Structure 1
Amino acid sequence: MHSNSNRKSLLIILSVASIVISATLFISIFARGYRLDPNNGFKLKVTGLLSATSKPKSASVYVDDLLVTATDDTLNLNPGNYQIKISKDGYYAWKKNIEIKPELVYQADAQLFRSSFDLKPITQGKIINPVVSPDSTKIIYAVASTSATSKENGLYLLELTELPLLMSKNTQRFLSPNLPYLDWSKYSFEFSPNSKQILATSKTNPNVYLISLDQTLDSKNLFDISSRLPQIKKDWQNIQSQTIQNKLEKLPLELKSVIATDSTVLAFNTSEDKILYQASESATLSERFITPPPTQSTQAQQRTLQKDSYYIYDFKDDTNFLIGNTAISQISWIPYSNNLVFIQDKSIGVVEYDHTNYQSVYSTEYLPPKILLPTPDGYRLIISISTSKNNPENLFSVTIKDR
């Protein structure tokens, strides 16, 4: 009896173990994209996976113009090439030609941008000589209203944070009014490499001022530092050069040699797995620097570089994409995304890092913006424009995407 009981227990354990192992194996095979094919005697067939996500969610997903689901969702597709479209009312559609590979997941992560913009004023006077800080969180500028005696004339600082920001006059810091011997609208400004100080210089006034932005500014701590200016400039240049060298450390040696280190365009995305750079010379990169992963992007690369053009290098995929030439300006990453923003002619455009999904998110019939700065949260742009031929230049915010 005791022997039969042991056998039954052993059979139960073996049966449970067999079921668990079979279920685990089935789940593993299912996760790798294998499916039962009812058209072929229910034999296993290998597929690939499309993971379609979007911001904002609940966008329609089309595969070869056929509506199949809504985001966020994962689909099984036979290996092959497909055109994917993710769209939602009120936003530009995201489109990409992709290749689905057996047992691999293709991640279609669509950032949808508004198809209509809302322009909100930040300043209401006339801003002069606006300059963006190296860390892209501050804008320094002078204000000159039509009245020379206006109490609003002077030096201002706009500081941006990742917190939701109500763009209004209250977000500006009034650093200093004009003084009897000092008209800030006659000065130009330069930030220190750490964005904590500015140099103020003028073509009409020999005095030069070094201003600390974390201290209260008044006439008592405004000193002429013109005699120290050459040394300050040299120190700042050395710091800037070291900062650039630190950024270049993780790049392949061959790529380092063709990056324009004197260019202001050299920036990592938020996750630091991609870098935006400007080519210092024409060159051809090696076909590969590392063994690429199986999920490497199949979008068309450009490893033949043209002098002064802008490119994105992806460290994980070992891919290199052309973004544009000198026809574009003020190019930068949109924080927490794989998208870039830039000015071309009189329009502001956004584009994905692999040079797909270009959209114009704002355009003006007047002069192109002198300032183009994404807010730290990535949902708005700060621009300096004139809204009409006779209106003075001011700062505005433009919302380009939603949470």
Structure 2
Amino acid sequence: MGMAIKNITSTVFSIATVLVIIGASLTVIAYGRGYRLDFTNKSFGTTGLVAATSDPTGAQLFIDGKPKSATNTNLNIAPGWYTVTVVKNGYQPWEKRIRVQGEVLTRVDAMLFSSNPSLFALTTSGVTNPVLSPDGTKLAYVVPEVPEATNGAQMVSRAGVWVLDLLDKPLGLNRDARQIVKREQLDTDQALLFWSPDSKQLLLTTNTNEAYLLESDKLNDIPKPQFDITILQKDWDEMRAAKEKEKLLSLKDEVMNIATSSMSILSFSPDETKILYEASHSTTIPVIINPPLIGTNPTEEVREIKPGNLYVYDVKEDRNYFVGMTKDLITQPLPTPSIQPETLLQPISNFKFQISNSAIQWLPTSRHLVITSKDKVEVMDCDGTNRKTVYAGPFWDGFVAPWSNAGRLVILTNLNPSAQAIGNLYAVNIR
């Protein structure tokens, strides 16, 4: 009898242990998948995980106007639509409408921009005709003949062509701009510069219709004259076409067909996962990824595109966003260069688009667009939300170039016209 009771007790204990283990495992799994007890509503149901990050970190996170935590953080929230606001002193607020789904990770990635941007000079000798390299890592410009006095009262000249790297160096060390040709070698005062598609060479044209090919990484003691510019133009056109074809071939056939028939592509994002374009014809972008991916950007997309509108197509997520009307975002004509194109050899006129940067371009984050208007520079998320003014002040020729770390913009302006007739390059710290 005693042995039977002992066996029953052992069996019950074993079963209870197994049930406890199973129950604990199911609880852990349910918790990990977002299930929570709601003591307020006396219910048990699934939640969604919101992973909120910001740059810089330590910002206040509000959901529907209620403070929740500080970034970076993870929150379990009941499914539904919410307005998320990220706020930090000294920075402009960031806000977006997001959708939280049960058992789905929703990301909130807020990049905050300074409410009081600062400026510092990159050049002091005066600059004309700056031009950004196609890969966005180098800036070439002309320093005209303006003698300067050294401490020994000797007159020196920095006149010529210079290249400034826009890449941050290790340990915070940035290399100074390098001179790639001196004015004693070429008459560079009225020169125009054009980058090669691989960002390694520069074509320099003078006001006497002479053309020279320069290497961008060293001083060109003997610049290479180009007697037949059409040969170089053909080589560069082929190189540029090959790069564009390579990008297009990475797209699905359905998207590539629309891209070649109904889109005027302005640019690919630096990571080549998004396309900024203007619709040239009305059409509908077909659904490529079906069923749609979960946890994608919740901003409402627009797949019916119309001429005169600008859009961003996200290749990875198969989502298309309306970012604005062309006439509203590109509010000014292309800047007029200091040297008129009529002074160039006729074949070089095809390079005119390189004289200035676009009125709308990508930040190196590949998640933001820079919009340049007559008297201000704005940045917005590439889905058309969070449009913020990051600089409002004078700048020349509509020239704006982003630094590679997306924390600065380079502008051309003259803060002291009474002392100098031409402008200089300045870096605007926007973060």
- Counterpart pick for 1:377 among 405, 408, 425: 405
For residues 397 and 304 of structure 2, the distance between their equivalents in structure 1, rounded to whole angstroms, comes to 30
For residues 249 and 83 of structure 2, the distance between their equivalents in structure 1, rounded to whole angstroms, comes to 38
Cα deviation 1:63-118 (Å, max 9, x = unaligned): 11111211122222222221111101000111011222222222111111111101
- Counterpart pick for 1:153 among 151, 159, 179: 159
Q: How many Å apart are 1:380 and its aligned residue?
A: 1.4
For residues 167 and 410 of structure 2, the distance between their equivalents in structure 1, rounded to whole angstroms, comes to 13
Q: How many Å apart are 1:158 and its aligned residue?
A: 0.8
Instruction: Look up the match of 1:319.
Output: 319
Is 1:72 the counterpart of 2:78? The answer is: no
Instruction: Look up the match of 1:128.
Output: 128
Is 1:400 the counterpart of 2:430? The answer is: yes
Where 1:234 maps in the other structure, the secondary structure is helix
**Residues 258 and 281 in structure 1, CA contact (< 8 A), matched pair in contact too:** no
Q: How many Å apart are 1:191 and its aligned residue?
A: 1.0
Q: 1:115 to 1:267 in 2, by over 3 A?
A: same
Moved more, 254-263 or 304-313: 254-263
Is 1:211 the counterpart of 2:211? The answer is: no
Task: Please show how residues 3-152 of structure 1 align to structure 2 within 5 Å.
Answer: 18-39=19-40, 41=42, 43-147=43-147, 151-152=157-158
Q: Which runs of 5+ in 2 are unaligned?
A: 149-154, 331-357
Where 2:224 maps in the other structure, the secondary structure is coil
- Counterpart pick for 1:192 among 172, 192, 196: 196
Q: 1:222 to 1:6 in 2, by over 3 A?
A: farther
Q: 1:87 to 1:147 in 2, by over 3 A?
A: same
Instruction: Look up the match of 2:353.
Output: none
Q: How many residues align?
A: 391
Moved more, 260-269 or 298-307: 260-269
TM-score, normalising length from structure 2? 0.81
Q: 1:159 to 1:308 in 2, by over 3 A?
A: farther
Percent of aligned positions that are identical = 29
**Residues 206 and 226 in structure 1, CA contact (< 8 A), matched pair in contact too:** no
Q: How many Å apart are 1:224 and its aligned residue?
A: 2.1
Where 2:189 maps in the other structure, the secondary structure is helix
Instruction: Look up the match of 1:178.
Output: 183
Cα deviation 1:292-339 (Å, max 9, x = unaligned): 112233312232334464321112322111223253344332223522
For residues 397 and 278 of structure 1, the distance between their equivalents in structure 2, rounded to whole angstroms, comes to 28
Task: Please show how residues 296-307 of structure 1 align to structure 2 within 5 Å.
Answer: 296-307=296-307
Q: How many Å apart are 1:58 and its aligned residue?
A: 1.4
**Residues 259 and 279 in structure 1, CA contact (< 8 A), matched pair in contact too:** no
Moved more, 101-110 or 354-363: 101-110
**Residues 180 and 214 in structure 2, CA contact (< 8 A), matched pair in contact too:** no
Instruction: Look up the match of 2:383.
Output: 354
For residues 296 and 307 of structure 1, the distance between their equivalents in structure 2, rounded to whole angstroms, comes to 27
**Residues 121 and 396 in structure 1, CA contact (< 8 A), matched pair in contact too:** yes
For residues 264 and 220 of structure 2, the distance between their equivalents in structure 1, rounded to whole angstroms, comes to 32
Moved more, 12-21 or 337-346: 12-21
Q: 1:294 to 1:264 in 2, by over 3 A?
A: closer
Where 1:354 maps in the other structure, the secondary structure is coil
For residues 295 and 245 of structure 2, the distance between their equivalents in structure 1, rounded to whole angstroms, comes to 30
**Residues 260 and 277 in structure 1, CA contact (< 8 A), matched pair in contact too:** no
**Residues 411 and 425 in structure 2, CA contact (< 8 A), matched pair in contact too:** yes
For residues 176 and 98 of structure 2, the distance between their equivalents in structure 1, rounded to whole angstroms, comes to 44
Where 1:226 maps in the other structure, the secondary structure is coil
Where 1:205 maps in the other structure, the secondary structure is coil
**Residues 126 and 145 in structure 1, CA contact (< 8 A), matched pair in contact too:** no
For residues 396 and 182 of structure 2, the distance between their equivalents in structure 1, rounded to whole angstroms, comes to 29
Moved more, 21-30 or 108-117: 21-30
Q: Which runs of 5+ in 1 are unaligned?
A: none
Where 1:302 maps in the other structure, the secondary structure is coil
Instruction: Look up the match of 1:225.
Output: 226
**Residues 122 and 426 in structure 2, CA contact (< 8 A), matched pair in contact too:** yes
Q: How many Å apart are 1:15 and its aligned residue?
A: 5.9
Where 1:297 maps in the other structure, the secondary structure is coil
Letter in 2 for 1:284: T
Where 1:115 maps in the other structure, the secondary structure is coil
Q: 1:103 to 1:174 in 2, by over 3 A?
A: same
Letter in 1 for 2:256: K
**Residues 61 and 68 in structure 1, CA contact (< 8 A), matched pair in contact too:** yes
Moved more, 109-118 or 302-311: 302-311
Q: How many Å apart are 1:393 and its aligned residue?
A: 1.6
Q: 1:35 to 1:174 in 2, by over 3 A?
A: same
Letter in 2 for 1:178: R
Q: 1:375 to 1:165 in 2, by over 3 A?
A: farther
Moved more, 64-73 or 146-155: 146-155
